[in-house]
Amino acid sequence: MTRKIIVTGGCGYIGSHVARAFKQNGDQVFIIDRVKRDHTLTDIDGYFIGDFISDGSLSTMFDLAPDVIVHCAGTSLVGPSMEDPGEYYENNIVKTIALLNFVKEFDKKPVIMFSSSASVYGEPDTMPITESTKKNPISPYGNTKAMTETILGDYWGAYALKSMCFRYFNAAGAEPHMFDLGQEAGATHLIARVLEASIAGRAVTINGDDFDTPDGTCVRDYIHVWDIARAHVLGADYMLNNDPIPNSGAFIFNLGTNQGTSNKEIVDYVYTKYKIPFVNYGPARFGDPSELIADATSAKQKLGWVPEYSDIKTIIDSAYRWYMPLNTAGNNEF
C-alpha cells in the first residue's frame, strides 16, 4: 500500500535525504519547508513553502491526511542556541506543540517521526551511549530535543498520537547515488567545513585541541545521512505495525555506528586526499562534549537497520563529490 508521507524541513540537509528515501521506497512524499531548494524537490509529489505551523502548512496536512509526518524542521546548532535560546525554544518547542495539538485532532492520526539528537545526553559518564543513558543536555538546543521527546511521550499516553524519536549522532555525507546536486556553501558542521576549505583553498579552524581524548580533539560517532534516511523508512514500517506500551512514551532509537572519529583524524584524511592549505586550532565551543559514541543495537535488532555507508572515508568522499558541482561550475563562493 502506498503511504502518504509529509516531511517538515524537507528542503534541509537531513529532511531532503529522508524525503528521497521514502520516495525511492514507493511512498507519496510531500515537503513543507519555509525555504525552497529546487534540487531537493526532484520527483517529490508536492510541497508547500512556508513555516510548518502556518495556516497554509496546516491546511496542507489536513487535506493530505498523511500516514506519517517526519518532523525534521527546527533550529539546529549548539553554539547559536547558547547565544539566542529564545529562538530555539520558540521554533523547536512552542511551534512543535502547536503542530501536535493540530494533528492530534485528526480522525486518522498520523504517526510522528521526530529528528532528535545525541545532544540530549550532554556529557555522559560512560561510552557507548544506549537509549537508557540518562538525558542531561548541556545546551538550549539539547534541551529542546529532550523536551520534545518528553512531550511526544505524553501525547502518546493522552491522545494516542504514536511517535518515534531518532537520536542522530553526527550526520554527514551525501546520498551515494546522486552526485550531481551540489551543496550550498556556508557549512557549519566539521566535515562539510573542512571540505569547503579544501575546495576553496583556504585554511580551516578546529574548535578545541585540549579535550580529554587521545589527540585532544572532539571524538564523534559519524553516521551517513543516507543511513539515517533509510532508518526512517524502516521506522515507519515498524511504527505502523507496532504500538508502544501504553504510558511508556515514544519509541526511541539511537542512530550511530558504535565507533568514534576525532576532529584531527578527519582533517588529516582530507589533508592527505584533498589538500588543505593550513589547519588552525581555536578555542573549544561551550556546550561541546569531549566524546559521543552511540550504541545503536536497538535500531539494528528491532528495525533491522544496518548502517551500510557509515565508514568515515565513505562519508567524507560522498560529501566531497556532492560539493564538486559547485567547484566545477565555479560557483564556490566560500
Active site residues: 141
Rounded-to-integer distance, Cα 304 and Cα 293, Å: 20
Closest CA to 321 of 216, 178, 201: 178
Cβ atoms within 10 Å of 220's Cβ, excluding its own:
26
Amino acid at the residue 87: E
Residue 23, classed as helix, strand or coil, is helix
Q: 95, 54 in Cβ contact below 8 A?
A: no
HEC string of 51-71 equals: CCCCHHHHHHHHHHCCCEEEE
Whole-angstrom distance, CA of residue 318 vs CA of residue 316: 6
Concatenate the DSSP letters of all residues of 173-223 into one string: ---TT---S-PPS---SHHHHHHHHHHHT--EEEE-S-SSSTTSS-EE-EE
Nearest residue to 16 via CA among 251, 226, 191, 241: 226
Longest dimension (CA), the chain: 59
